Every structure is written in structure tokens, then in C-alpha cells.
Structure 1
């Protein structure tokens, strides 16, 4: 272990190219020895972000063994989990194995924790070949270790929730927190906004709908692509109106939102497929706000699309961090039966695949 603290943002772990932050690096040093301000986590489970997993599954034709091999090769070659196509990663849960004497993260050896920073910047080494994962779901049982820096973010897992459920919630906890913040900004100005959530039956989408309603939205609209998701979201009771639309069809999406009580003052994009940017802009009212949470988003397409449509909208990138976001999302899960039901149903379905 070096005597001096490392870079709080992990520059000392970058192997190549020199001078970039860990997220932009091609390779990280994932060796287990700690710098004084780092912590090492014994990994129990990875959660691949939805866009990354979808891309890998489609690229390999749903072949779970091939997906597993691809993930292992990414981690082996890069020292982190960063899908080279989507640029995204996910997060993990595990047990704190060692804490450097200068670490400011406030955890102790033995704490079960979730990392609230992306796997794209987290030094990671896998030692079990992911042998317990069939490659057919976003949650990945795993053994190995991960390293967190002084400016990383980590949360202790609540005792009343199974780790798989906590992991699923914390993976997307930035979405409801930012949605609530934006809705409250409208309410503080005397405007009770109409909020449309594209992908409302998913993890981030269901939490964002609950957050929007709690923060004072006048109407919540959940957009889903198929009848089965519409039925689940309707049963959950999280949206005032549930509408069917393919978010990749801008005209159809705008029409569905309008018929549901729009256009939306706030549109939240939570789908894991590309090509939804123009529809999000077109279905948002003049002077409104679009929040992009999907890692499948093309931000050039969003910006140029808004320009081409002469759309006066503010576009926000959900960066995954809002102070207090993990506690807020866990509270929504505990207090909103519809949210919990959707999450537990999703985990059950993945376990049966």
C-alpha cells in the first residue's frame, strides 16, 4: 500500500490513456492492494444497466453463454465493466473487505453495500468466471473484488430488503430524485405540471411516476409499448393515464401523449432503446423540460432534433446523482405498493428465465 493518498477521483488507477478520468480510460488497474483513501469490496452481484444488457443480448442472439463470455472479456481486458458499444456499465453490491485508513466514505469492514457510481469507472476483477450467471438477465451473481475511490459513492443496504431488490432500486435511484426536483421547481412557480414518463412500467420509469405524483404533478402519463406492460402499469396505479405508443415513432408518441392529456410539461425518458429522442421532444409543450435517463440516448440527435423542430424545450441529462437519491428511492419502494409490485414482478420474471 502506498504511503500517500491516491487521487480522490481515481487517476492513479488509470493505465491508459494517460491524463483521462477512470470513466474515459481504456484500461484500469484493478489490483487488490489499496491506496490509503480507497476501499475494497468483495463482489456478490453486478447489475448491468438495461441499455448495455439489451445491446449484448441482441448482439449475441440471446445466447446466454456468449453474453457471459462477452462480459468476462470486457472486464478482463478493461479492468472495469464498460460496454464498448453503449459506453455504459451498471453497478454492484458486495461486502466491504478492507477500508483504507484515509477513506472518507464512512463504511466499515463487513458492511453490505451498493456502489452508487458506475461500473464504467470502478476497478473490477472477477474470479469465478461468472459461473452462476446464465447470461439471461441484468443481475449477475459474481465473485471478485472492486475498488472505490475517495470521491466514490456507496450506500449500506437496508436490512429489510433482499439484496437483489435493493440493487435493482439503487441502480436507477437518480431518476426519481431528479424527476421530483424538476417537478417541485414547477410547483414552486405556481405550475402543477403534466408529467409524461416514457417507459413507465420499467424500473426507473415506475419510480419516476411515483416521484412526480408525490412532488405535486397535476397529471402523470405512463407511456408503454405493449399491452402486457400497460396492464401491469395500470394495475400498479402509478399513472393517471396509461398510453400505448412506440417511443421511436415521434408522431405516434406525440399523439398518444396529447390524447392522454398532454402535451407534457415534463417528459422523462426511461427506455433502453435508441431512437426515442425526437418523440420525446415533439410530445413536450413549448417551454417544457425533457429529462433523458436512458444510456441509449443520442444527445446529438436530441439537440439537433429539437433545433429542427423549432422546439423551445430544456433538455437535461440525468447523471445518476442527486443528494439523498438512494434513501429517496428506497422510501418510494417501501411506501408505494405499485412500485414494489413492479420491481418484485420483474425480479421474479428474471429468475424464471
Structure 2
């Protein structure tokens, strides 16, 4: 009996969903409702890659060895420390006759579900990867379930660029939704104040897309917060934010002061797009009562966020960015095509990798 959510691929412990499983069955034979993809490139999520790189002192060989060990042991790529994985691109080798995903053999696709729940086998030992970048050239195969999500790669964009965008496409879509709701509510209430949006980690992949999405959704003023001068200059140079602030997001007072100074008031919507832990309290403190904090970072401690908000008597709504919003892939690719600033930051990031 094959499950649409992949329960039949869970080896241990029994009874949990694939994302929560310790080990998956990654055999290449597919069930009638599955799809097998020949993998060409992985994209490790930022929090996972940072943790691995810092653990091994930037030694790429050791990072590569640990990724290989994780996949061989667990049948999927799920960092045991961060709990996160990433996504992949590849070519459909075989689609089961009952698969509802609409994919055909030969389609070049990006998976829009996490590697933490995707059965994965690596065949080439990651021989073409130096262990020093999030994008990982790879030969292997992966399995998609009936409830998985994948997008056919667009012809007008380089696959590596598409992968980088689709890896974080949930962030701009949810940001746009939340900002539009705030704008509509103020209009209904006759409140003339503009909606202020702060994006923590505004120069990164999800951050730059979220800034562009917030502006398009009607934000009256936006600020991108970054930790170093080089990122400040890069973000200011592309004009995605009305203001760019320099602050360590792990310092609650410094972060709150930076956001409030840039916006003239605490943010109505704060979007956390950083890949380091310890930013929860600052995000809450920087957000106005009645506002919303969206946590997109896999480094977030949700216990710290909840208890911190309670301790600050902060009346804020806190959302977990789960990576999926209907239409998220199309929106992110549209922003990349239409916003030169977004494209410039992504292109520079890929060149640096």
C-alpha cells in the first residue's frame, strides 16, 4: 500500500511522516504514484550549510564527507543539528502512472519540498563539489511522492539561478500576503499610516525577494537590516529598500533601535531571513503591537520566540514560514525577472560561490 505522503518509505521510526523519520527507504524502484528524478544539483539550505561549515572550520573536504554520511545513513539530506535540508534540481527519469504531479520523463524540474523528506541516493560521491558553497553538483536520484511539489524549470533562466530562487520562494509569497492584509486593514479602518516593513537579512536570497514583494504589496516604507558594511553597500546599491540599517540581529536593543530609527516607528511587519540563531527577541522587540513577525530562518528557536514575546508583553502575531504558499514559485521567478536589484544580488551571490 503506497501512501500519498510517503509513509511507505519510512524505515524508522514507524508511524511518523517522512520529514520526522530518522531513516527513509531510498530504493530507485517507484510506486505507481511516485516520480524518480535524476539529480543534477542540490541546494543546501543556508542554516544547514553554515552549521556544517562552522563545525568543520571551513574545511570543504570534511563538509562533503559529512553530507555524504548523512545521506547514506538517513536516505535523505537532513542536517541532524539544524533539522533542515534544502532542495534539488534534476530531470524526471520515470513518472508512475498514478502520479498526480503532471510530470513526464525528460522534464527538468526543481523540487519545492524539502530534502528532509525526500528519499535521496548519491552516486558520484559529490566528486565535483568542493564543500564550500550551498549549491552542490551531484549525480544521484530522488523520489517524489503524490503530495510532493515540483516546478518545471523555465527556459529563460540558468538552472543554477532558478534553483537559488526557488529554494526560498515561500518567503516573498508569504511576505506579500501579510503586507497586503495589513494594507487592506488600514484602508478599511481609515488609518492613513503607511505599513512599515523590516526585513532582517535583507541582502540575502529570501531577504531581497521579500523586500521586493513587500514593496509590490503596498508597503509604505521598507528597511533591510544587514550585519556587515559590504552587505549594506550591496543592498543600498540596488535600491530594493527605502533604508538600509547596519545591526547585529542577535542584539535585541541594537536591532530594535536600527529598525525604529529607519522606519520612524517599530515595524508593522518584520521578516526574519537570517541563517544564525539568536535573532528571535530582537525581531519581536522591533515589531509594533498588533504587528506580525514572520520567521523564515531554519535557525529560529520557536520556544525562544514565544517565551521572548511573552516576557516582553509583546502583542505580536508570529508566523512560521513553511515554504509553501499557492503560486509561490511563479511569484518568485516573476520578481527575479522584473526587479533588476533582486537579479543583481542573486547573480553576485552565485558568482561568489
Q: TM-score range by the shorter chain?
A: over 0.9
Which residue of structure 2 aligns with residue 233 of structure 1? 235
Which residue of structure 1 aligns with residue 125 of structure 2? 129
List gaps (5 residues or longer) in structure 1: none
- How far off is 1:136 after superposition? 0.1
User: Quick one: distance in 1 between partners of 2:43 and 2:89?
Assistant: 8
Q: Deviations over 1:245-297 (max 9, x none)?
A: 00000000011111101310000000000000000000000110000000000
Q: Pick from 234, 247, 250: which aligns with 2:249?
A: 247
Which residue of structure 2 aligns with residue 69 of structure 1? 65
Is 1:83 aligned with 2:86?
Answer: no
Which residue of structure 2 aligns with residue 174 of structure 1? 170
> What SS class does the counterpart of residue 245 from structure 2 fall into?
strand
User: How do 1:82-231 and structure 2 match up within 5 A?
Assistant: 82-189=78-185, 190=187, 192-231=194-233
Which residue of structure 2 aligns with residue 330 of structure 1? 333
User: Quick one: distance in 2 between partners of 1:208 and 1:140?
Assistant: 25
User: Quick one: distance in 2 between partners of 1:144 and 1:256?
Assistant: 46
User: Quick one: distance in 2 between partners of 1:249 and 1:328?
Assistant: 33
TM-score, length of structure 2 as denominator length: 0.97
User: Quick one: distance in 2 between partners of 1:207 and 1:65?
Assistant: 32
User: Quick one: distance in 1 between partners of 2:252 and 2:14?
Assistant: 42
User: Quick one: distance in 2 between partners of 1:234 and 1:107?
Assistant: 41
User: Quick one: distance in 1 between partners of 2:303 and 2:112?
Assistant: 27
Q: Pick from 258, 261, 264: which aligns with 1:259?
A: 261
User: Quick one: distance in 2 between partners of 1:9 and 1:249?
Assistant: 40
- How far off is 1:154 after superposition? 0.3
Which residue of structure 2 aligns with residue 20 of structure 1? 16
TM-score, length of structure 1 as denominator length: 0.97
- How far off is 1:188 after superposition? 1.3
User: Quick one: distance in 2 between partners of 1:185 and 1:281?
Assistant: 19
Q: Pick from 285, 290, 308: which aligns with 2:288?
A: 285
Q: Pick from 273, 297, 302: which aligns with 1:299?
A: 302
User: Quick one: distance in 1 between partners of 2:214 and 2:329?
Assistant: 16
Which residue of structure 2 aligns with residue 11 of structure 1? 7
User: Quick one: distance in 1 between partners of 2:291 and 2:327?
Assistant: 25
Please identify runs of 4+ aligned residues in structure 1 that moved more than 4 A. Answer: none
- How far off is 1:236 after superposition? 1.0
User: Quick one: distance in 1 between partners of 2:90 and 2:74?
Assistant: 21
Alpha carbon RMSD of aligned pairs, Å? 0.6
List gaps (5 residues or longer) in structure 2: none
Which residue of structure 2 aligns with residue 347 of structure 1? 350
Aligned length: 346
> What SS class does the counterpart of residue 41 from structure 1 fall into?
strand
- How far off is 1:193 after superposition? 1.1
User: Quick one: distance in 2 between partners of 1:39 and 1:107?
Assistant: 8
